[in-house]
Amino acid sequence: MTAKARQHKIIAYLKENSFASVQQLTDIAQCSPATVRRDIIDLDGEGKLKKIRNGAEKILAPSTDPSIGMAGFYPNISDYRNYEESDLIAQKAVELCEVRDNIFVGEGQIPFLLGKYLVGSNIHVFSNYLPLLSYLIIEDYPHLVVLGGQYIKSQNMLVSPEPHVTYQGRYLIVGGDGLTEAGLTKSAVLTFMEEKKMLQYADKVVALVESEKVGVFGGVGLFTLDQIDIVITGKNANPTIIDLLIAKNIQVYLV
């Protein structure tokens, strides 16, 4: 089998699977482990996958541009403690949205994953989180408002809004570093300040939190439980906190 054919099989497998071990790729490409390792190194250099210990993972970036300036810009699968759970949380958040909804999206690894589920939808996204915005622009997504300016797809430019413009949307979707009886917490102070500003524009707050962070204090208080309307987390989340959320009339989705 030629190198091109082997590498095509490797990439095809990673399109359907988040991770692959060297042994799995050896079986798929029908070659030696040493050959697979060389292919992984080559494909990593081309930005078509990410080399990890004893294998490879698919990339989450919307393009295969290996530009040094983009290194570390997009999250990698290995940055997530539980990628599969985070992906399900993001998918559920988009499923809650209706056609032509306006949604505000904050910063974070799970909010970034909303991108692939938004593609092809007619949901208007307001955000200042550049990895998500960049992903959607590269995917030719037309319904974007960059907070601080609107993205005009037909002219590839940002247009600053008039000072009197007032935004309004159904949801503010935010990630968090912890969720306790005190509310949703965030470790990044600058992010905290920007997402606080978005609260005035949205009817409901949707918190996307990994199950391991439920019951954990994660920094500065972002929103109290009284300000949160919906929580999406994993099935292994702390049941005591989940019961508390439900008692507070917060809608909870366990994925």
Q: Is the pLDDT of residue 233 over 60?
A: yes
Q: Is the pLDDT of residue 202 over 80?
A: yes
- Please tell me the distance from the alpha carbon of residue 75 to that of residue 135, in angstroms, as a whole number: 11
CA distances for 107 relative to 58, 75, 129, angstroms: 22, 12, 5
**CB-based contact 176:218 (threshold 8 Å):** yes
Residue 45, pLDDT score: 86
User: For 7-19, what is each residue's pLDDT tens digit?
Assistant: 999 999 998 899 9
Q: Is the pLDDT of residue 69 over 80?
A: no
In the chain the domains, ranked by start, together with CATH numbers, are 3-59 (1.10.10.10), 83-254 (3.40.50.1360)
User: For 169-184, what is each residue's pLDDT tens digit?
Assistant: 999 999 999 999 999 9
DSSP string across 65-107: ---GGGTTTS--GGGSSSHHHHHHHHHHHHHT--TT-EEEE-S
Residue 209, pLDDT score: 98
Residue 68, pLDDT score: 54
User: For 1-58, what is each residue's pLDDT tens digit?
Assistant: 888 889 999 999 998 899 999 999 999 989 999 999 999 999 988 888 899 999 999 9
- Please tell me the distance from the alpha carbon of residue 181 to that of residue 248, in angstroms, as a whole number: 10
Mean pLDDT of the chain: 90
- Please tell me the distance from the alpha carbon of residue 80 to that of residue 106, in angstroms, as a whole number: 17
Average pLDDT of span 215-237: 95
User: Which pLDDT band, with edges at 50, 70 and 90, does 158 fall under?
Assistant: low
Query: Alpha helix (H) ranges present in the chain?
Result: 3-16, 22-29, 33-45, 83-95, 109-118, 130-138, 189-198, 239-247
In a 13 Å sphere around the CA of 94, the CA atoms on its Cβ side amount to: 21
DSSP state of 240: H
Average pLDDT of span 203-216: 97
- Minimum mean pLDDT among 33-42, 55-64, 114-123, 245-254: which range? 55-64
